[in-house]
Amino acid sequence: MESLLYQLSTGVANGCIYASVALALVMIDLATHHINFAQGEMATMGTFTAWALLQAGMPYWMAFGLAVAISTAAGFAIQRVIIRPFEKAPVLNNVVVFVGLLVTLNALSGWIFGHTIKEFPSPFASSKWLGNKYLSAHSMGSLLVMLTMLLILFSFFRFTRLGLAMRAAASNPLSARYSGIRVSWMLALGWGFAAAIGSVAGMMVAPVLYLDPNMMSGVLLYAFAAALLGGIHNPWGAVVGGFIVGIMENILGAYVTGTELKLSVALVLIVSVLMFKPNGVFGKKIVSRV
Amino acid sequence: MKALNYRLCRFALAATLFASLCVFPFLLPDYRVFQLTLVLIYAIAIIGLNLLTGDSGQVSLGHGAFVAIGAYVTAVMVSQDWANAYASLPIAALFSFLIGICMGFPALRLAGHYLALATYALALAVPQLLRFRGLEPWTGGVQGIVLSKLDPPWAIELFGRNLSADGWLYLVCLALLAAAMWLALNLVRGRVGRALLAIREHPAAATAMGVNLASLKTLVFGVSAAYTGLAGGLSALVVAFVSPDSFTVFLSITLLVGAVVGGLGSIWATLAGAVFVQFVPNLAESLSQSAPWAVYGVILIALMFFFPGGLAGFVTKLRQRRRAAGHALSFRQPDSTGDKDA
Amino acid sequence: MNDLLVVKGLCAYYGASQVLFDVDVTVRGGEVTALLGANGAGKTTLLRAVCHAVKANGKMLLDGKDIGGCSTEKMAQLGVAHVPDDRGTFTDLSVNENLLLGAHTRSDRKAVASDVEKMFDRFPRLRERRHQQAGTLSGGEQQMVAIARALMLRPRLLLLDEPSFGLAPLVIADIFRILQSINREEKVAILLVEQNAKLALDISQQAYVLETGRIALFGPSQKVAEDESIRRSYLGH
């Protein structure tokens, strides 16, 4: 029973990470109708940036904050410079551009920071009051950080003018422009946020998965499964989906398939959702009918 | 008459090209022949991807998985002595076909980016599956499987050289590529091809006209996978080694790049795409020792910007411009040698 | 009253095909100007061109200032509100949020908040639905949301594209009454595109008739209503 609770709570903690990355995916998708394949790579770069700052002697939370800020700016810039020129291009060309971005960022990470696997510190590992028998200190801390971030995001989108403008830009770009909202800047901002979210997730994941250029590929896959599960156009459904995926991953991994086949589990999950509930558990219709 | 002459010309050109390609193993050193063989194998795989993406508009970032499946089927069959090398190839293709159909079915519900991401999942999952300890007795786990290179069944001599193993494999691949191209061209030009074009251009209209979208799309996925699986089987024989690390996501990316660079929807251009993906990474490496893939990624983005239709698209544009110029000329001079159409 | 919007020699294009040919339209401040015409005449295109949402060239002056090179987003800042023919509602967002978005370019937040209440006074049916998702409202209610959203801008010029489309007669009457009161009380100039010619001519002071991209007739609404060909084609008698 105890180990079940442990698996469950770790699943929730992991799920929070998948939830956040899923949110980032859905955000960009809602705004631009494109899935950001490079989301994982952007997150990894942010994490590497934090690592470099830490190596240079910066205290953890300062490095954390600075890395997030840099990621936001980078995400913003990437949208303006690389993604925007292809806004009107066919889907396949966009996919190739995203793939090119993925490959470039991945290679740049390796080139700038090296391909060797690195340790990434957790700010919670030494904390005594965080750890308990159901959750490691780091998992608990990570859960708190991610929940805080999700809360901040929720409040931003719900209660601020800029958040409302961004939601409007995603909901109906032309009307948004008629209302005076500069939609293309909103898109770029969305990318900035997605990069920031990814970086935070990366920094929470790195102490466990160890930092290397390919660190986030599994997480991205789970995040996509989560987004699909929650209904790909439903941001908060994606968050719930993330928790479900996290719990399932741990339960299945501990009791059914073993840890080696986790990615296959994700694949089966994705395919099953597509076959039986293509709109996701809470989703609206997005499936292309014909 | 002009049309017939033009067609004969093109056929003669193709035949000459083919004959000269056959001669390479006797003229070039073995490692070059090996590289060219890889180009041929890539080309077969890219034709497979092209059939799926170019013609029915479904994006796949997971075709590396089918290469892996085909390669492992061949490798396992040969190493376990369940079949000889040549017989394993159609089996690899068939197995891949079946898996392709299985993927094609859920793929029906997705389009564009969503399908791309689902196939990306496949590409990530398959190497992990191949590493799985439970399958190790057959797959060799992380170590993979080593095969022995196939020797030519008959001794052939040309230009004073005997045909080597590499050379023989090159010829086998060349023959299969030619067959694959012929088959693909016929598929694309015939009824199936037209139906696929209809699906890509306007799915709703196609359905209204009675094209059974679901079965056709699924079938295309299967055929596409079969081609790629065949390429995988060949790669196992040619490289004489398979391991999970040979089939990462980057392979799927490479195939997609090859298809797009060549130009989607053009069977001939797949050869250009295959040359690109075989040799440009080496070029990138010479440009940047430390981050060849970064250069590669930048080249990709630049290509999409400057040549959105790939090489085939570029050639088509040139042709159109030439034709327009030709018409302009013939408009002014009634007795010009104008008509270049055939 | 002064000339608020002056459009001269407007040519508009959808891709390669030209849709408007040398169109001249003037909207006077505080007046309702009707734009009539059959389907495909180019009425919607004209409104879009004013907001720079389609490719167009020609002269455009707003209150004497050249607005030729403005972006679509700038038009809201200049006090031009556009209610498109599909209403342009933010269907995922609540009614309240839709209204707030109308006032996005305004910086006087307290006044915005009180304006929201005023909108609910004017459209009482919306008050009880204020937190409901706008996409779930009926056609008439969505039209009210769209108009209210446009009014939140406190615009000088309101561009309305077929407000009566798809609505029941009672609802239409309701809406047009509100439009009239907006025009009279707040002196908002309205450029009204309508297929329902009678309604439009009743409420407007000036009218233009567009036929396949060209102005076929214009003048005071009463005169236009009495015109022989108009009566036969658009008024049915």
Express each pLDDT in C134-155 by its tens digit.
989 988 899 999 999 999 999 9
Q: Domain span at residue B152?
A: 2-249
pLDDT per residue of chain C (237 residues) written in tens, 0 to 9:
688 999 999 999 988 889 999 999 999 989 999 999 888 888 999 999 999 988 898 899 998 889 888 899 999 999 999 999 888 999 989 999 999 999 999 988 899 999 999 999 988 889 999 999 998 998 889 999 999 999 999 999 999 999 988 888 888 898 899 899 889 888 899 999 988 888 899 999 999 999 888 998 889 998 888 888 877 777 776
pLDDT at A114: 83
| pLDDT of residue B227 exceeding 90 | yes
- Strand pairing report for C65-66 and B241-242: unpaired
Q: Is A111 exposed, middle or buried (0-12, 13-18, 19+ CB in 10 A)?
A: middle
With CA atoms as reference, report the closest residue to C151 among C116, C194, C127. C116
Task: State whether residue A97 is helix, strand or coil.
Answer: helix
Q: Which domains does chain A have, with CATH numbers?
A: 2-121+134-276 (1.10.3470)
Contacts C157 to A, Cβ<8 Å: none
Note whether residue C118 is domain-resident. Answer: no
Note whether residue C94 is domain-resident. Answer: no
Note whether residue C148 is domain-resident. Answer: no
Note whether residue C8 is domain-resident. Answer: yes
Q: Cβ atoms within 10 A of the Cβ of B189, count?
A: 11
Note whether residue C75 is domain-resident. Answer: yes
pLDDT at A76: 95
pLDDT greater at residue B332 or residue C191: C191
| pLDDT of residue B285 exceeding 90 | no
Domain count, chain C: 1
Q: How many CB pairs under 8 A join A and C?
A: 67
How many degrees, rounded to 5, is the angle at CA C34 between CA C33 and CA C39? 150
Residue among A175, A180, A183 minimizing CB distance to C90: A175
Q: What distance in Å separates residue B63's CA from the closest CA in chain A?
A: 14
| pLDDT of residue B337 exceeding 70 | no
The span from the CA of B100 to the CA of B118, in Å, is: 13
Note whether residue B261 is domain-resident. Answer: no
pLDDT at C26: 93
pLDDT at B329: 56
The span from the CA of B221 to the CA of B211, in Å, is: 16
Give residue-wise pLDDT tens across range B149-166: 777 777 777 777 777 788
A to C contact (≥3 Cβ pairs closer than 8 Å): yes
Q: What distance in Å separates residue A154's CA from the closest CA in chain C?
A: 14
pLDDT at B334: 47
* Predicted model pTM: 0.81
| pLDDT of residue B1 exceeding 70 | no
| pLDDT of residue B331 exceeding 60 | no
Position B265 confidence tier, pLDDT thresholds 50, 70, 90: low
Give residue-wise pLDDT tens across range A102-139: 889 988 888 888 888 888 888 887 766 666 767 788 88
Contacts A161 to C, Cβ<8 Å: 100, 104
Note whether residue B341 is domain-resident. Answer: no
Q: Domain span at residue C12?
A: 3-89+154-235
pLDDT at B328: 59
With CA atoms as reference, report the closest residue to A44 among A270, A185, A218, A258. A218
pLDDT at C158: 94
| pLDDT of residue B131 exceeding 90 | no
Give residue-wise pLDDT tens across range B4-54: 777 788 778 778 877 777 877 777 888 888 888 999 999 999 999 988 886
Q: How many CB pairs under 8 A join A and B?
A: 151
Which tokens hold the place of C41? Answer: 């005449």
CATH number at residue C80: 3.40.50.300
Cα nearest neighbour of A29 on chain B: B113
Chain A touched by C101 (CB under 8 Å): yes
Note whether residue C120 is domain-resident. Answer: no
ipTM attached to this prediction = 0.90
Contact at CB, C104 and A161, closer than 8 angstroms: yes
Contact at CB, A174 and C88, closer than 8 angstroms: yes
Note whether residue B121 is domain-resident. Answer: yes
pLDDT at B339: 41
Contacts A83 to B, Cβ<8 Å: none
Domain count, chain B: 1
The span from the CA of A1 to the CA of A134, in Å, is: 11
Note whether residue B159 is domain-resident. Answer: yes
